[in-house]
Amino acid sequence: MATLLAPWHWLLDTFAWPWLLLALPLPWLARWLLPSARGTAAALQVPYGERLQRVAAVGRRGFGGSAGALAWLGWILLCVAAARPQQLGEAVQPPQAARDLMLALDLSASMREPDMDLGGRSVDRLTAAKAVLADFLDRRGGDRIGLIVFGRRAYALTPLTLDLDSVREQLNDSVIGLAGQETAIGDAIALAVKRLQARPAEQRVLVLLTDGVNTAGLLDPAKAAQIAHAEGVRVHTIAFGGEGSMSLFGVPMPMPGAGDEIDEAGLRAIAKTTGGRFFRARDTSQLVDIYAEIDRIEPIRQPGQALRPRIERYHWPLAAAFACALLAFAWPRRRLA
């Protein structure tokens, strides 16, 4: 079927309403189908009847010849104008606000700490982080997002992609310990830098969320931050976690000193070295505010999808049809003169 329609694709590309070209044979059909009008009144007798017949014969010859051809040409041009001929213009890429963000999520054992409140219930840190990140992804229309998880090692679960459903699925499937029980912050930064090298310099952004200190990996976080700075990657760091908790007769209780396990000074230094910002989130509401702030500080203007605008050209055949109509009416009078 597609092969049969292929020769007619040019009609769809050239005309907005190609079906109006079916009106081309209407005058011929009307002349062929409708009966000729016959007069029943008595003919008028005049002494100069032969002269009138000669004048009528000249008029019929004129209209049936050049004038008739002009009338037909005018009708054809009018149908073409009604079908709205169009021309494809040069391709343009309208700018749009979009972002290219790599998200690095800590999956170490400390993310199991149940010191977060979500919807009135106590949940572990990873569950709270997933909920906030899922809402963040829901508002990322047009953005490219990549996902890195890290524990003892760092792994890229998704590259930078517009398919946010895949990112969301990988996020939902991530569990504590998937990348190991320890925390390799330096390796996560290095992996993100590697994934972002192909992007333009102003679009290299990493958002790193962790609740601990660097305890594993091959690369020291400070050295990784220097590499990120050299490659033009801005790293926004988020220290996430409450004050910790322990269970006493099934009731979560604050655990003294647990909040000190987060290396806030180290994360702050990473952000400062790379030109990013450091954030501290002790609950989900603060984490939501942080991602909203990242929304505001990382908008990127980049070319959108290339489009070829359609330029209307119907006024040319319409003007030609009007000219043909004037000539068709004026032609018999010129012959008579």
Q: What is the pLDDT of residue 247?
A: 38
H or E element: which one contains 280?
strand 278-281
The SS3 assignment for 206 reads strand
Residue 330 has pLDDT above 90, yes or no: no
Beta bridge partners, 208, equal 104, 237
Residue 276 has pLDDT above 80, yes or no: yes
Rounded to whole angstroms, how far apart are CA atoms 227 and 201?
14
H or E element: which one contains 266?
helix 264-274
Beta bridge partners, 278, equal 237
Mean pLDDT of 163-188: 91
CB 242 within 8 A of CB 283: yes
Q: What is the pLDDT of residue 269?
A: 94
Residue 267 has pLDDT above 90, yes or no: yes
Report helix, strand and coil shares of the chain as percent, to nearest 5.
50, 20, 30
Q: What is the pLDDT of residues 188-212, one digit of tens each?
A: 999 999 998 888 776 788 999 998 8
Q: What pTM did the predictor assign?
A: 0.58
Q: What is the pLDDT of residues 89-114, one digit of tens each?
A: 776 655 455 677 899 999 998 888 88
Higher pLDDT, 274 or 87: 274
The SS3 assignment for 186 reads helix
Going by pLDDT thresholds of 50, 70 and 90, the confidence category of residue 319 is confident
- If you classify domain 95-303 with CATH, what class do you get? alpha beta
Going by pLDDT thresholds of 50, 70 and 90, the confidence category of residue 283 is confident
* Among 87-96, 123-132, 235-244, 303-312, the least confident range: 87-96
Mean pLDDT of 158-173: 91
Boundaries of every domain in the chain = 10-21+52-90+308-337, 95-303
- Other beta carbons within 10 angstroms of residue 30's beta carbon come to 9
Q: What is the pLDDT of residue 11?
A: 54
Q: How many residues does the chain have?
A: 337
What φ, ψ does residue 122 adopt, rounded to 5°? -85, 125
Q: What is the pLDDT of residues 31-68, one digit of tens each?
A: 777 766 565 555 555 555 565 555 455 444 444 556 67
Report long-range pairs for 293-302 (Cβ below 8 Å, ≥24 apart). 294/207, 294/236, 295/139, 298/99, 298/101, 298/205, 298/236, 299/97, 299/99, 300/97, 300/98, 300/99, 300/100, 300/202, 300/203, 301/95, 301/96, 301/97, 302/95, 302/96, 302/98, 302/200, 302/203
Q: What is the pLDDT of residue 51?
A: 58
Rounded to whole angstroms, how far apart are CA atoms 15 and 19?
9
Mean pLDDT of 170-195: 91
